[in-house]
Amino acid sequence: MFDKEVRLTGKHARYMILLANNLGETNAKLFNRNIDVYVQAPIVGFLYKRKGSKDNDMKDPNGKVYDAHILKDQMLNAKDNLVFNMQLILLLDSEYEQNEENRIDHAFRNFGKNDGDFELFESYLLGGIEVLYEHLIADAAKTDDFIENLSSFVDDINERYNQNVNKEKLLDSLN
C-alpha cells in the first residue's frame, strides 16, 4: 500500500493540477507538488465529512481526460504520512465502523488487509480534493482572491475545530 505510482483522472486530476500549480500572475503555489495534495486531502475530506467518487469524464480543451500522476518514489517518501493519515481516519470514523475495538483492528492489527479500508481512505481523498478546490481555487480570478480564499479556509477550519479549545488551559498544560 502506498508503494506504487498513483494516477488520478477527470475532475480530481484537474483539481489536483490546479492546486499544485502557480496561481495567477505570481509564482505562488498552494501546494508544491501533487503528492502534497494527496497527503493532505484525505484529512480535509474527513474533517469536512466529504467523500468523493472517481470521475473519469472531465476533459481538457483538447478533448483528453485530465490526468495527474504521482511517482512511485514520491509515494514511498510520503508513505509514513499516508499510513498515519489512513490509520487516523480508520480510528476516528465511527460511521464506517461503530465498534471501537474493530476500528483499532482495522487501523493496526489488520491494516491493509481489507479493501474497504483503502476505499474509505480514497473516498475521503477525493472528497478532500473537492473541498480544497472549492474553498481555495474555484471562484478565484486573481492573486488577491487566492489569498482571501486561503485566509477564509483557515478561519473556517479554526472555527470548526478550535472553538472548544480553552487557550488558558492549553497554555497552563505547556508550562
**151-163 residue pLDDT tens:** 999 999 888 887 6
Mean pLDDT of 20-31: 73
Encode 76-105: b = buried (16+ Cβ within 10 Å), e = exposed: eebeeebeebbbebbeebeebbeeeeebeb
Closest CA to 56 of 19, 17, 8: 8
CB 48 within 8 A of CB 126: no
Specify the pLDDT at position 81.
97
Specify the pLDDT at position 163.
66
What's the grid cell of residue 43?
484529512
**44-67 residue pLDDT tens:** 999 999 999 998 889 988 999 999
Share above pLDDT 90 across residues of the chain, in percent, rounded to a whole number: 70
Positive or negative CA dihedral for 39, 41, 44, 45? negative
Res. 30 pLDDT band, cuts 50 70 90: confident
Specify the pLDDT at position 141.
79
Question: Is the pLDDT reported for residue 25 higher than 90?
Answer: no
Contacts of 89 (CB under 8 A, 6+ apart): 42, 43, 46, 120, 121, 124
Distance CA 168, CA 154 (A): 22
